[in-house]
Structure 1
Amino acid sequence: MDQPNHIIDADHLRKISGKKSVAAIRRWASRQGIRCGDGAAGPWTTLEALNFALGVPISPAANDSYGGDIL
């Protein structure tokens, strides 16, 4: 089943963080201010949560958020 582009799964978080274990990914995300949910394969988040943690302003008219293709 394909997931929406705005969902960042555990595999993507593993690549972004450089961490291997689920616990290490959760700690890294928490330290970065990234809100995560618990999934069967590990933590997951949304592109919006990543943008918020990075300080990207929420402006629907300007579309200032990063796209999912940067991962």
Structure 2
Amino acid sequence: MGNSSSDVLSFEDLQRITGYQRRSDVERTLLEQGIRMFRGRTGPWTTIDLINRAGGVGRGRQERYDADIL
């Protein structure tokens, strides 16, 4: 089962989710929450799977959050 493009959260998505607008604030919040992120040309981005891992949702558990929770 591969990732679809809807599994990627863009900088704009992360701004909306965190409530922060500045790139540094968004990045700091992700790091504080233990969410692995990548720094792209247009800002940080991450995936739903990386958020699930940070939240303790992973292999061996059936609970999974999808992009529709946003």
**Coarse TM-score class (shorter-chain normalised):** 0.7 to 0.9
The corresponding residue for 1:39 is 40
User: Any stretches of 5+ residues in structure 1 without a counterpart?
Assistant: none
Match of 1:65 in 2: 64
Aligned twin of 2:56: 55
User: What is the CA deviation profile of residues 4-47 of structure 1, one whole-angstrom value per residue up to 9, with x for unaligned ones?
Assistant: 01101101111111111001100000000000001122100011
Using structure 1 for the length normalisation, give the TM-score.
Answer: 0.83
TM-score by length of 2: 0.84
Aligned length: 67
Assess if the C-alpha contact under 8 Å between 1:58 and 1:65 holds in 2. no
Map 1:1-40 → 2, pairs under 5 A: 4-40=5-41
- Structure 1's consecutive aligned runs of 4 or more residues displaced over 3 angstroms after TM superposition are none
Quote the Cα distance in structure 2 between the aligned partners of 1:15 and 1:58: 28
Q: CA deviation at 1:58?
A: 2.4
Instruction: Give 1:57 shift.
Output: 2.9
